[in-house]
Amino acid sequence: MGNIRQETDQAGFNLLIISISLAAFMSALDGTIVNIALPTISAVFNISSSTVSWVATIYLLVMAGCVLIFGKLSDGIGFKKVFLSGFAIFTLGSFSCALLPDLLSSFPVLIGSRAFQAVGGAMITAIAPAMVTAYIPMKQKGKAMGIIMTVAALGTAIGPTIGGVLTQYLSWHWIFLINVPVGICAILLGAKVIPAMTPHGQPAGFDRAGAFLIFTGLAALLFAVSEGNTLGWTSPVILGTLVLAIVTLAYFVWHELGISDPLLELRLFTNRNFLMTNLVMSLVFFSFAGISYLLPFYLQYVKGYGASDAGLILTALSIAMMVSGILAGALYNRVGGRNLCIAAGAFLVAGYYMMTLLRVDTPTGFVILCLIVLGFSLGLMITPASNMIMNSVAKKYQGMVSSLTSLERFAPLTLGIAFANLVFIQGIEAIARHHGITESAPVNIKLNLITAGFNLAFFFSFVIAIIILVLALLARQEVHPDYQTGNDEDAMTGTL
C-alpha cells in the first residue's frame, strides 16, 4: 500500500507541476507574443504606433497594480479559488480581446478587454511560486521550481515566433485565441489536482486602502517610466505622474506599518537574508532589461541583421536559460541555493563584462557566447533565489510573498528598460558633443558612436551584476520552521 500511495502522490505532484507550469507558460508567452502584432493592429484600427502601444502597456499597468492584492487575498480564501478564477478571467479576457474589438469596431474595447485579461493574469502569476512552496515537499521543491522556470523561459523564447507566425498566416486575433484552449485545459486540470486546503486563517479585514494605494502607486510609476521617453521626462504629465507615484507609495509604506493585517508585511524585510535575496531578484531583472531591450537594436543597426535573424540569435539566451534552469532544480537540494546564487552571480558578472566588449566588427559567434553565458547565469540564479525567498517566511505569508516575487520580475524589467534607454541616448549625445560628431559624420563613425552608447548601457548592467554577486555572498540560506523536513510532507495528503 505504501508504494501505491507514493506512486499516486508522485503522479499528483507531476500533474500539479504541469498545472502551475501552464500558468507560468501563459504569463511568459503573453508578455512577448503581443508586441510583434502591434504594427498589424495599428494598421487595422488606423492608429499611431504610440497609441497601439497601450495594448502592451495597459496589461503591464494592471498586472503591477493587482498582483500584490491577489497574493494577499489567496492567503485568506485559498490558492485554488484564486488560481481557477484567475484562469477563467484570463481565458474570457483573451476571447474578448480576439472578438469584441472587431465586432464593435472599437480599439478602446481592445484596451478594456486587455485590462480585464490582465486581472486574470495577475491572479495566476501572483500565486504560482506559493503553490510550489505550499504543495510540493521540500525534497522536490528545487526540481519543481526548475521545471516551472524552464517552462516560463520557453514561453518567453517562443512568444515572438508564435506571434509572428499566427499574425502572418492567420490573423492578429489568434495571438489571443491561442490562450483559450490552454486556459480551458488549465482550469480542468487545476480543478482536479490542486488541493482544496484550508486557508491560513481568515484576515481581520481586507486592506482596501493599501490595495488602492499600491495599485495607484505602481501603475503611476510604471506609466511614467514607460512613457517618459515618448512624452518627455520634463513634461507635466510625466512629472505629475511621478509625484503621484512617490506620494502614494510613501503613504502605502506608512499605512502598511500601522495596521495589524497589511496587504504587504513590510516587517519581513527586517530579516537580512530575506531583504538581500529579494534585492538579488529585483536587480537581476533590472540589469537584464537593458540587454533584452538594447541588444536587438545592436544586432540590427550595427551588425546589419534582419529582424528574423536577430531573433534567431537571441534564442541562444533562452535555450541556455532553460538548460541551467533544469540544472539548478536538480542541484538545489544537493549544493544549496546560496551556492548556486553565488555561482550564477559570477557567471552574470562575466557575461555582462563580455557585453561591454562588443564592437562594430565583433564576430557573431562572440555575441552568441555572451548570450549563452548570460542565459546560463539567469537560469542558475532565478530558480534558487525564488526558492530561498519562499522558504524563508511562514506559510501564512505564502501568497503575499509569492506575489512579491512575481512583482520583482516584471516591474524591474520596465524600470530597467527605461533606465538603459536613458543611459544609451544620453551617452550617445554626450560622446558626440565631446568628440564633435555631427549628423554629417561618416557611417563608420556613426556606427562606432552607437556602439559606444550600447557599451555604456551594458557597463551599468556589469556594475549591477557585481552588486548582485556581493549580495549573494553576504546572504545565507534560511528555511523557516514551517518547511523543515517532516513539517510539509502532508501537503497533499488526502487531496488526490
pLDDT digits (tens, 9 = 90+) for 147-164: 777 777 677 667 767 777
Q: Which of 87, 80, 59, 116 is nearest to 179 (CA)?
A: 87
Residue range 66-80: mean pLDDT, rounded: 77
pLDDT of res. 348: 94
d(CA 88, CA 117): 9
pLDDT of res. 307: 63
d(CA 418, CA 222): 10
Q: Which three cell numbers stand for residue 489?
A: 510532507
- Going by pLDDT thresholds of 50, 70 and 90, the confidence category of residue 300 is confident
Give the percent of the chain with pLDDT over 70. Answer: 87
- Going by pLDDT thresholds of 50, 70 and 90, the confidence category of residue 274 is confident
**Averaged pLDDT of the chain:** 80
Confidence check: pLDDT of 483 > 90: no
Q: Identify the residue with better confidence: 135 or 90.
A: 90
Residue range 390-416: mean pLDDT, rounded: 78
pLDDT of res. 496: 34
pLDDT in tens, 426-471: 888 888 887 777 676 676 787 888 888 888 989 999 999 999 999 9
d(CA 24, CA 359): 36
Confidence check: pLDDT of 198 > 60: no
Residue range 417-432: mean pLDDT, rounded: 83
- Please give the DSSP secondary-structure letter assigned to residue 199: P
- Going by pLDDT thresholds of 50, 70 and 90, the confidence category of residue 7 is very low
pLDDT of res. 2: 39
Considering only 18-27, 142-151, 442-451, which range has the smallest mean pLDDT?
Answer: 142-151
Helix, strand, or coil (residue 320): helix
Helix, strand, or coil (residue 194): coil
309: CB partners within 8 A, 6+ apart = 299
d(CA 382, CA 124): 19
Q: Identify the residue with better confidence: 257 or 2.
A: 257
Are 42 and 169 contacting, i.e. CB atoms less than 8 angstroms apart?
A: no
- Going by pLDDT thresholds of 50, 70 and 90, the confidence category of residue 482 is low
d(CA 6, CA 131): 20
Q: Identify the residue with better confidence: 392 or 282.
A: 282
CB atoms near residue 453 (< 10 Å):
22
Q: Identify the residue with better confidence: 242 or 289.
A: 242
Q: Identify the residue with better confidence: 199 or 424.
A: 424
Residue in the structure block whose three cell numbers are 556589469: 462
Q: Which of 458, 169, 159 is nearest to 311 (CA)?
A: 159
- Going by pLDDT thresholds of 50, 70 and 90, the confidence category of residue 486 is very low
Distance of CA 405 to the CA centre of its chain: 9
Are 97 and 113 contacting, i.e. CB atoms less than 8 angstroms apart?
A: yes
CB atoms near residue 476 (< 10 Å):
11
Residue 70 one-letter amino acid:
F
Considering only 200-214, 360-374, 424-438, 469-483, which range has the smallest mean pLDDT?
Answer: 200-214
Residue range 16-28: mean pLDDT, rounded: 80
Alpha-helical runs (H) found in 78-137: 79-104, 107-135
Q: Identify the residue with better confidence: 320 or 438.
A: 320
Q: Identify the residue with better confidence: 171 or 480.
A: 171
130-135-138-143 Cα dihedral, nearest 10 degrees: -80
pLDDT in tens, 381-391: 988 888 888 77
- Going by pLDDT thresholds of 50, 70 and 90, the confidence category of residue 9 is low
d(CA 483, CA 136): 10
Confidence check: pLDDT of 203 > 70: no
Q: Which of 395, 82, 68 is nearest to 253 (CA)?
A: 68
Residue 306 region, left (φ>0) first, then alpha (ψ -120 to 50), else beta?
beta
166: CB partners within 8 A, 6+ apart = 33, 37, 172, 174, 175, 178
Q: Which of 269, 483, 279 is nearest to 394 (CA)?
A: 483
pLDDT in tens, 108-126: 898 999 999 989 888 887 7
pLDDT of res. 494: 34
